[in-house]
């Protein structure tokens, strides 16, 4: 009996010491991140040409091996970067969907880390036990146009069976040639996911995909679950409560599910939304820290002691977030007053070259939204919605428009400003006002409906106190708000 107790104590001591060591490394990774962050990648709209100089830099470095492993439909190269001498192969791929680039940035941060003369003991353990393979951009054509699909118009992640896309065939061929032990499937998800039954956004979400309809757990899937449990414990330190878990219903067409089936422990990581992080740079950092920490736990084998049961303790993903949630607002319609909650979201509208964007606000839902949440929630009890007015004077041009005192005009109830000459390429404005054409006419009655661009004022005791411009709430007393852009609107 004493022998058994001693054995248990020894095992627990090893586990706890391993966790303590991992947490110390994680803290160091987080605090030193800026040293390794790839400075040339600052925004989400990354194109194929953006990463070519970086790939060439590593190709010229004897620590790394860079190989062209295929081409996209439009002929853009797909490259694999490898480092390490270990027997355990770890394969990481990003931007299967062209408009999901957060982890692509993190991959180059990780490569910079692996190249640097620091964390020598940890890197020695990683690179002697593992061989790491990074495929930073699987769908370069989608990245060019900032679209989910490839040029064929299909979702590569639903092409694991038919393999009609050259990009999908590359992924299958690389996975098979490596016989990868672990695979990290790196994506972005909607910013409107939340951790189930909480007002916290699902900043990072995980999934150990099922490999059959029964959702069986073998050692391959079990190892993926254990690594996810470990990564969740890391994210909780920096974004507490902001982790979700995807539904694991088997999808027979998906690469993640099939890669799990083919014998690679597949770990899906989705980068969602975060507070005041439009370009997802903090989420990029969380990817860097958690992926490197996961790689380290795989290298030293400590993940094997993590209980699988903790995987199901991660809250499921839900989709109940709004950019702005307004509650209890009074709305007059056809002579009667109603109390509404209003949920508003913003859609990014790309410029023709897919290098930048402006935001278009829309009412996502209205009514009783008590089971939904907002990145920002405003209790509008006591406030009444009143329509905005068109400014009675016409402004000559864009320069004169930009010289207007927007806050003063809003306080007078004006939101739509006629401009005589509007350049055709101008679609938005940084002022919290809308540019309209001469003779612009508003509907006689303000009707709020889902899908509509929300523009109105909130009045209290006969005084306009707040403006909602393109779905952004602005305090007219202080001028503060989360405003991004107004719009150029024209009557047909």
Which residues face 366 on adjacent strands?
342
Q: What is the 3-state secondary structure (H, E, C) of 98-164?
A: CCCCHHHHHHHHHHHHHHCCCCHHHHHHHHHHEEEEEECCCCHHHHHHCCCCCCCCCCHHHCCCCCC
Over residues 39-47, the mean pLDDT reads 96
The total of structural domains in the chain comes to: 2
Interaxial angle between packed helices 281-300 and 2-31, expressed in degrees from 0 to 180 and rounded to the nearest 10: 150
pLDDT tens column, 293-315: 999 999 999 999 999 999 999 99
Residue with tokens 């938005």: 428
Per-residue confidence (pLDDT) for residue 492, from 0 to 100: 67
From 124-128, 166-170, 362-366, 487-491, the region with the lowest mean pLDDT: 487-491
Neighbouring residues of 432: CB distance < 8 A, sequence distance ≥ 6: 406, 407, 410, 467, 469, 472, 474, 481, 483, 486
Cα torsion 401, 403, 406, 412: sign: negative
Mean of the per-residue pLDDT values of the chain: 95
Over residues 23-49, the mean pLDDT reads 92
pLDDT tens column, 278-292: 999 999 999 999 999
When pLDDT is cut at 50, 70 and 90, the band that residue 204 belongs to is very high
pLDDT above 70 covers a percentage of the chain that reads 95
Q: Which of 302, 318, 334 is a domain's end point?
A: 318
Residue 8 has pLDDT above 90, yes or no: no
Per-residue confidence (pLDDT) for residue 16, from 0 to 100: 43
Stretch (H or E) spanning 255: helix 255-261
Residue 273 has pLDDT above 70, yes or no: yes
Report the C-alpha gap between 273 and 199 in whole angstroms.
Answer: 12
Residue 1 has pLDDT above 60, yes or no: no
Distance between start and end Cα atoms, the chain: 86
Same domain? 274 vs 361: no
Per-residue confidence (pLDDT) for residue 7, from 0 to 100: 40
Report the C-alpha gap between 64 and 115 in whole angstroms.
Answer: 9
Nearest residue to 91 (alpha-carbon basis) of 291, 301, 307, 311 = 291
Region for residue 133 given its phi and psi (left: phi exceeds 0; alpha: psi -120 to 50; beta: otherwise):
beta
Same domain? 433 vs 420: yes
Same domain? 213 vs 271: yes
Same domain? 330 vs 281: no
Over residues 176-192, the mean pLDDT reads 98
Structure token digits, residue 36: 């390794």
Region for residue 25 given its phi and psi (left: phi exceeds 0; alpha: psi -120 to 50; beta: otherwise):
alpha
Residue 201 has pLDDT above 90, yes or no: yes
Count the alpha carbons within 13 Å of 435 in the hemisphere toward its beta carbon.
Answer: 24
When pLDDT is cut at 50, 70 and 90, the band that residue 25 belongs to is confident
Same domain? 410 vs 477: yes
Same domain? 363 vs 451: yes
When pLDDT is cut at 50, 70 and 90, the band that residue 21 belongs to is low
Torsion (CA) 313, 316, 320, 322 in degrees, nearest 10 = 80
Per-residue confidence (pLDDT) for residue 316, from 0 to 100: 97
Q: What phi and psi, each to the nearest 5 degrees, are found at residue 278?
A: -60, -40
Same domain? 379 vs 233: no
Residue 477 has pLDDT above 90, yes or no: yes
Q: What DSSP designation does 481 have? A: B
Same domain? 367 vs 425: yes
When pLDDT is cut at 50, 70 and 90, the band that residue 20 belongs to is low
Enter the pTM of the model: 0.93
Characterize 323-355 residue by residue with b for buried, 16 or more Cβ atoms within 10 angstroms of its Cβ, and e for exposed: bbbbbebbbeeeeeeeebbbbbbbeeeeeeebe
Same domain? 259 vs 384: no
Stretch (H or E) spanning 429: strand 428-429
When pLDDT is cut at 50, 70 and 90, the band that residue 327 belongs to is very high
Supply the CATH number for residue 83's domain: 3.40.630.10
Same domain? 311 vs 325: no
Q: What is the 3-state secondary structure (H, E, C) of 393-418?
A: CCECCHHHHHCCCHHHHHHCCEEEEE
SS3 of residue 224 by DSSP = helix
Report the C-alpha gap between 336 and 344 in whole angstroms.
Answer: 23
Report the C-alpha gap between 88 and 182 in whole angstroms.
Answer: 8
pLDDT tens column, 438-461: 999 999 999 999 999 999 999 999
Same domain? 314 vs 325: no
Q: Which of 266, 300, 318 is a domain's end point?
A: 318
Q: Which of 318, 351, 386 is a domain's end point?
A: 318
Residue 240 has pLDDT above 60, yes or no: yes
Residue 3 has pLDDT above 60, yes or no: no
Residue 6 has pLDDT above 90, yes or no: no
When pLDDT is cut at 50, 70 and 90, the band that residue 24 belongs to is low
Same domain? 360 vs 314: no
**Domain span at 437:** 321-489
């Amino acid at each position: 009996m004493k022998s058994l107790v001693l054995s248990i104590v020894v095992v627990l001591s090893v586990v706890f010491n391993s966790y303590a060591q991992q947490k110390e490394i994680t803290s160091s990774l987080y605090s030193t991140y800026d040293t390794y962050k790839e400075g040339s990648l600052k925004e989400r709209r990354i194109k194929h040409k953006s990463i070519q100089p970086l790939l060439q830099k590593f190709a010229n470095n004897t620590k790394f091996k860079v190989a062209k492993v295929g081409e996209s439909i439009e002929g853009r190269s797909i490259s694999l970067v490898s480092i390490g001498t270990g027997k355990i192969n770890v394969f990481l791929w990003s931007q299967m969907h062209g408009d999901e680039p957060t982890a692509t940035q993190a991959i180059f941060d990780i490569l910079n880390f692996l190249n640097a003369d620091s964390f020598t003991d940890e890197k020695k353990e990683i690179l002697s036990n593992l061989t790491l393979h990074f495929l930073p951009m699987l769908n370069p054509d989608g990245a060019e146009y900032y679209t989910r699909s490839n040029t064929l118009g299909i979702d590569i992640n639903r092409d694991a069976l038919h393999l009609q896309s050259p990009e999908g065939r590359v992924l299958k061929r690389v996975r098979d040639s490596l016989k990868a032990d672990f695979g990290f499937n790196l994506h972005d998800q909607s910013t409107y996911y939340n951790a189930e039954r909480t007002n916290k956004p699902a900043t990072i979400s995980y999934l150990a995909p099922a490999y059959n309809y029964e959702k069986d757990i073998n050692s391959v899937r079990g190892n993926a679950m254990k690594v996810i449990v470990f990564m969740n414990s890391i994210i909780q330190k920096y974004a507490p409560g902001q982790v979700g878990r995807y539904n694991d219903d088997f999808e027979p067409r998906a690469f993640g599910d099939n890669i799990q089936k083919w014998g690679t422990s597949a770990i899906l990581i989705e980068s969602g939304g975060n507070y005041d992080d439009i370009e997802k740079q903090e989420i990029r950092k969380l990817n860097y820290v958690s992926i490197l920490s996961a790689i380290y736990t795989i290298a030293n084998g400590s993940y094997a002691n993590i209980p699988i049961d903790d995987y199901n303790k991660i809250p499921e993903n839900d989709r109940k977030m709004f950019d702005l949630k307004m509650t209890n607002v009074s709305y007059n319609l056809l002579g009667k007053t109603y109390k509404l909650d209003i949920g508003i979201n913003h859609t990014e509208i790309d410029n023709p070259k897919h290098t930048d964007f402006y935001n278009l606000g829309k009412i996502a839902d209205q009514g009783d939204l008590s089971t939904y949440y907002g990145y920002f929630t405003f209790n509008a009890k006591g406030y009444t919605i009143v329509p905005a007015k068109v400014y009675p004077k016409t402004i000559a041009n864009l320069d004169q428009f930009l010289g207007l005192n927007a806050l003063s005009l809003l306080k007078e109830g004006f939101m739509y400003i006629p401009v005589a000459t509007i350049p055709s390429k101008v679609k938005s404005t940084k002022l919290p006002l809308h540019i309209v054409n001469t003779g612009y006419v508003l509907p006689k009655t303000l009707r709020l409906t889902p899908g509509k661009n929300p523009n109105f004022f909130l009045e209290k005791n006969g005084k306009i106190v707040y403006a909602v411009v393109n779905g952004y709430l602005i305090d007219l007393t202080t001028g503060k708000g989360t405003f991004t852009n107004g719009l150029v609107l024209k009557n047909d």
